Amino acid sequence: MQAHKIALAIHGGAGTILKSSMTADKEKAYQSALKIALEQGYQVLENGGSALDAVEVAVCFLEDSPLFNAGKGSVFSAEGRHEMDASIMEGQKLMAGAVCSVEGLANPVRLARRVMEQSDHVMLANKGAEQFAREQGFEFEKAAYFHDEYRFQQWQALRGSDKFQLDHSSKKDEKFGTVGAVALDSTGCLAAATSTGGMTNKKYGRIGDSPIIGAGTYANNTTAAISCTGSGEFFIRGVVAYDVSCLIEYKGLSLKDACREVVHQRLQKIGGDGGLIAVDTQGNIVLDFNTEGMYRGWKTPQGHGIEIYK
Amino acid sequence: MQAHKIALAIHGGAGTILKSSMTADKEKAYQSALKIALEQGYQVLENGGSALDAVEVAVCFLEDSPLFNAGKGSVFSAEGRHEMDASIMEGQKLMAGAVCSVEGLANPVRLARRVMEQSDHVMLANKGAEQFAREQGFEFEKAAYFHDEYRFQQWQALRGSDKFQLDHSSKKDEKFGTVGAVALDSTGCLAAATSTGGMTNKKYGRIGDSPIIGAGTYANNTTAAISCTGSGEFFIRGVVAYDVSCLIEYKGLSLKDACREVVHQRLQKIGGDGGLIAVDTQGNIVLDFNTEGMYRGWKTPQGHGIEIYK
């Protein structure tokens, strides 16, 4: 078996992330968290682990950090809840799992993987998904685990209004709150995972692109693994993650050109803001976005990097 | 403005639908319902109405019929509920709306359209979607509206077990219960809509492909409008509806070849059963499936047809 190059990329959301509105301490905290997530995921790949394990480990670390809008750092919904979405996909058999509007789970991405591996389904929602989690032995956290004063204040500012807020929208010092990871392992397999706490003050059980296979997450060993972050509605309408894959498979574009076409042409044409990370089976990595910034990191045997701004 | 050919196609689900296991009366009832849905939708187009209106009208009629697993004819979930999913998309601005796991609504497709036109979102779920429906003035039906003795007996056969059943799975005389419509209007606009009552005895808040833009439903005026029916998990993993569009846009396939490639090659490669209906801006119609049958109908100025078997 041919040894493949290994590669990992992660993101912690995109949006109006300006150096001018960032303190040195805050910047350092983000960089540090991204670095650890990257190292933990990459370690899995270096030890010969699967791309699936690597993206799960990296996303779990980001879910555990209060800095990112996913897992512990999830924002407050209109009813003061933390409703989380996540999805995961592997590129060999195109297996996938997703959960939406789940509460109380520290790591929704783990539940998404369990759906993929231990259920007959791809997507489970709400109380039903939580019942599946209980039957699978997942532990549930109390609301206090998810309480964060900054997130609470974000909610208070919008509470009772019809306004909602993507974590870092263009109007505020907020980002599109999503975390994600894509990986290539030493056997040549690709995987992608995405997780989010949704939008501050979101109503009506809104579901964004993060738990939707093809929109927020996609992986296929013949093309690439992709994880998105941005204004979810536009990513759904653009079927963004799968669009990158199709441009490679059907039109013969390189990973870089496919991502550029989707992020800067097709997505912007319908008004979508955000970005994505992607890796192909040659270990090429792309981290592209049409916003001011995107929390991101990447690592291959040839090098690594952590970046926030354009 | 150039006058376009108008075209409409509908489906009422695919699966192991064998002439040998169908009574003459039952067959006549299905044919009659399909014919009325087709005529009602086509009438909209003939009167110069939009593709969106046409697919909504056709799907509403199928939702109102107890014969199909959508709306009134929805199957029972594991908890004895009727949890419905629907989506709609138009091809000019790529606007889309979807609802999942909603209860008590006679016509989930109408709510999906309202989400598209009157909310900032694409996809609303569960109680939140129902709250949106109430605020929009939708009336809710009592459980008795959805009670059907045949559906109830289907559930009793599986109740309390871990089994679930797609309406007409390959193992039983059951079909994949979904309804859908695709249309081309006289202005050259395309639209698609899909609606389902899910799977008998379904658990865990399972969501199939019907409410997922790109998987069960997609429309784009530069390619085609597509509505799918089948084993939803595979349609999600295959991003089936958008795949047809990409094969046309990126690989230059005809509508017919694109549908054949997706239904008989790519979908079957991962084990997916089912079919789809599609229409392009030239008014070409395809109704393709890899199962024994698919309830279907089509109409253009050149002709029309209602069919059930291969």
A124 and B213 within 8 Å at the Cβ level: the answer is no
Q: Using CB atoms within 10 Å of the CB of residue B251, give its burial: 0 to 12 exposed, 13 to 18 middle, 19+ buried.
A: middle
Quick one: closest CA in B to A122, which residue? Answer: B233
Q: What pLDDT, on the 0 to 100 scale, is given for residue A175?
A: 54
Q: Is B87:B179 a contact under the CB 8 Å cutoff? A: no
Q: Is residue B305 part of a domain?
A: yes
CATH of the domain at A20: 3.60.20.30
Q: What pLDDT, on the 0 to 100 scale, is given for residue B139?
A: 96
User: Which residues in chain A have Cβ-Cβ distances shorter than 8 Å to B192?
Assistant: none
A233 and B128 within 8 Å at the Cβ level: the answer is no
Q: What pLDDT, on the 0 to 100 scale, is given for residue B4?
A: 66
Q: Is A207:A85 a contact under the CB 8 Å cutoff? A: yes
Q: Is residue A2 part of a domain?
A: no
Q: Is residue A182's pLDDT more than 80?
A: yes
Distance from CA of B169 to the nearest CA of A (A): 14
Return mean pLDDT, chain A.
92
Give the torsion sign (CA, B58, B59, B61, B66).
positive
For A39-97, write each residue's pLDDT tens digit: 999 999 999 999 999 999 999 999 999 999 999 988 888 788 889 999 999 999 999 99
Q: How confident is the model at residue A155 (pLDDT cuts 50, 70, 90)?
A: confident
Q: Is residue B103 part of a domain?
A: yes
Q: What pLDDT, on the 0 to 100 scale, is given for residue B167?
A: 62
Q: Is residue A117 part of a domain?
A: yes
Q: How confident is the model at residue A167 (pLDDT cuts 50, 70, 90)?
A: low
For B251-262, write each residue's pLDDT tens digit: 999 999 999 999
- Angle B23-B28-B29 (CA atoms, 0-180°, nearest 5)? 100
The ipTM, to two decimals, is 0.94
Q: What pLDDT, on the 0 to 100 scale, is given for residue B170?
A: 45
Distance from CA of B260 to the nearest CA of A (A): 16
Q: Is residue B254 part of a domain?
A: yes
User: Which residues in chain A have Cβ-Cβ distances shorter than 8 Å to B205?
Assistant: 124-129, 131
User: Which residues in chain B have Cβ-Cβ distances shorter than 8 Å to A208?
Assistant: 123
Please tell me the pTM assigned to this model. 0.94
Closest partner CB to A204 (pick from B132, B205, B233): B132
Query: How far is A107 from A122, CA to CA, in rounded Å?
Result: 17
Query: How far is B55 from B179, CA to CA, in rounded Å?
Result: 11
Query: How far is A62 from B248, CA to CA, in rounded Å?
Result: 39
**Which DSSP state fits B5?**
P
Q: How confident is the model at residue A170 (pLDDT cuts 50, 70, 90)?
A: very low
Nearest in space to B163 (alpha carbons), one of B34, B74, B75:
B75
Domain count, chain A: 1
Segment among A67-76, A144-153, A284-293 with least mean pLDDT:
A144-153
Query: How far is B116 from B105, CA to CA, in rounded Å?
Result: 17
Q: Is A97:A140 a contact under the CB 8 Å cutoff? A: no
Distance from CA of B180 to the nearest CA of A (A): 19
Closest partner CB to A237 (pick from B94, B119, B237): B94
The full length of chain B comes to 310
Q: How confident is the model at residue A224 (pLDDT cuts 50, 70, 90)?
A: very high
Distance from CA of B42 to the nearest CA of A (A): 26
Q: Is residue A236 part of a domain?
A: yes
Mutate which of B81, B119, B122 to test chain A, going by most A C-beta atoms within 10 A? B122
Contacts of B20 (CB under 8 A, 6+ apart): none
Look up the domain containing A91 and give its range. 7-309
Mutate which of A84, A89, A119, A123 to test chain B, going by most B C-beta atoms within 10 A? A123
Q: What pLDDT, on the 0 to 100 scale, is given for residue B3?
A: 56
What residue ranges of chain B have pLDDT lower than 50?
1, 169-174
Q: What pLDDT, on the 0 to 100 scale, is given for residue A262?
A: 98
A95 and B237 within 8 Å at the Cβ level: the answer is yes
Q: What pLDDT, on the 0 to 100 scale, is given for residue A82?
A: 86
Quick one: closest CA in B to A243, which residue? Answer: B246
- Residues of B with a Cβ under 8 Å from any A Cβ are 89, 93-96, 100-101, 119-129, 131-132, 164, 203-208, 212-215, 218, 232-233, 236-239, 242-243, 246-247, 250-251, 270
| Residue with the larger pLDDT of the pair A168 and A242 | A242
In the residue annotation, A281 being an active-site residue is answered as: no
Q: Is residue B2 part of a domain?
A: no
Query: How far is A196 from B143, CA to CA, in rounded Å?
Result: 34
Q: Is A294:A14 a contact under the CB 8 Å cutoff? A: yes
Q: What pLDDT, on the 0 to 100 scale, is given for residue A1?
A: 44
Q: Is residue A1 part of a domain?
A: no
